[in-house]
Amino acid sequence: MDFDNLTAVMRRLALEAGDAIMSIYRSDHVDVRAKSDDSPVTAADEAADALISAGLRAAFPDVALVTEEQATSHSARAARFLIVDPLDGTKEFVQRRGEFTVNIAYVEDGVPIRGVVYAPAKRRMFYTDATGQSVEETGELAPDAVGPVRPISVTTPDNAALMVVASKSHRDQATDDYIGKYAVRDMTSAGSSLKFCLVAAGEADLYPRLGRTMEWDTAAGHAVLRGAGGQVVRFDDHTDLTYGKPGYENPFFIAYAPGVSLQTG
């Protein structure tokens, strides 16, 4: 894989998809429909999916592509593939909360080694550069010109005073009970894959997810966290969370900065 080209293409497509999403976000009415699994879908999901899919297939015709809007449980799995959630956080989008993201990742041998997470309403852009180092880009965020970037990395956590980030839309008692096993300095809530990025940028130490997610929900954020020195493990046995699983469904997981003393469930 040409990682220079991959980085450039993923970044550009994420920004272009973000522009398409925001044009619908700013409209007076957003039509919401239910997919076969009862999850919501909007014209923004579909527009972003079409744009990203066309761009990735043109740039990388020999690499398998999985997207939320096109995947089925019978999709062929490959040793390397691109995986996309064109609009992660549709509920946040519909409710005009702004914490939704465009997610694009590249997976090799079960590991998400490159990824981009773009929150267009918040104008925050995180991605892995060509070397695999995670960065946050600031400035105008123009598709055709890279702005200022700064490397990001996880913090060294203080297990007596952890900063925890949890889901804004999927918080439940089981999650609160698990968080209660830690000495927590403070907590914050965030939507979509931004939670991974907060840990990657050193703004949080721990993100536990005790709920259903799919690989396209997590792969890009996982890649960004990995490129910042963080880890994502299964909740049940603390082994690495891997990709390319049958049906693309994830188990519960924990994303964290190394040094956090993980608790069992």
CATH number of the domain that residue 17 is part of: 3.30.540.10
Q: Is 117 in the same domain as 235?
A: no
**Domains of the chain: total:** 2
Q: Is 102 in the same domain as 186?
A: no
Q: Judge whether 157 lies within some domain.
A: no
pLDDT band at 110 (very low <50, low <70, confident <90, very high): very high
Among 151, 172, 192, identify where a domain stops: 151
What pLDDT was estimated at residue 31?
A: 72
Among 96, 120, 151, identify where a domain stops: 151
What pLDDT was estimated at residue 169?
A: 65
Q: Is 104 in the same domain as 223?
A: no
Q: Judge whether 263 lies within some domain.
A: no
pLDDT above 90 coverage of the chain, percent: 77
What pLDDT was estimated at residue 94?
A: 80
Q: Judge whether 103 lies within some domain.
A: yes
Instruction: Quote the distance between the C-alpha of residue 45 and its chain's center.
Output: 15
Q: Judge whether 207 lies within some domain.
A: yes
Q: Judge whether 78 lies within some domain.
A: yes
pLDDT digits (tens, 9 = 90+) for 70-89: 866 445 568 999 999 999 98
CATH of the domain at 234: 3.40.190.80
Q: Is 147 in the same domain as 196?
A: no
What is the value of pTM for the model shown? 0.94
Domain membership of residue 145 as a residue range: 3-151
Please give the residue that has the higher pLDDT: either 168 or 184: 184
Rounded distance, CA 46 to CA 64, Å?
Answer: 19
Q: What mean pLDDT is predicted for residues 7-13? A: 98
What pLDDT was estimated at residue 165?
A: 96
Rounded distance, CA 177 to CA 73, Å?
Answer: 32
**Closest CA relative to residue 108, chosen from 77, 80, 70:** 80
Rounded distance, CA 104 to CA 88, Å?
Answer: 10
Q: Is 131 in the same domain as 30?
A: yes
Among 123, 151, 179, identify where a domain stops: 151
Q: Is 50 in the same domain as 21?
A: yes
State how beta strands 134-137 and 149-151 pair: antiparallel
**Closest CA relative to residue 116, chosen from 21, 43, 225:** 225
Q: Judge whether 80 lies within some domain.
A: yes
Q: Is 10 in the same domain as 100?
A: yes
Q: Is 176 in the same domain as 137?
A: no
Q: What mean pLDDT is predicted for residues 117-127? A: 96
Q: Is 168 in the same domain as 135?
A: no
* CB of 146 closer than 8 Å to CB of 187: no
Q: What mean pLDDT is predicted for residues 25-34? A: 74
Q: Is 138 in the same domain as 14?
A: yes
Q: Is 143 in the same domain as 63?
A: yes
Sign (positive/negative) of CA torsion 142, 148, 153, 158?
Answer: negative
Q: Is 142 in the same domain as 220?
A: no
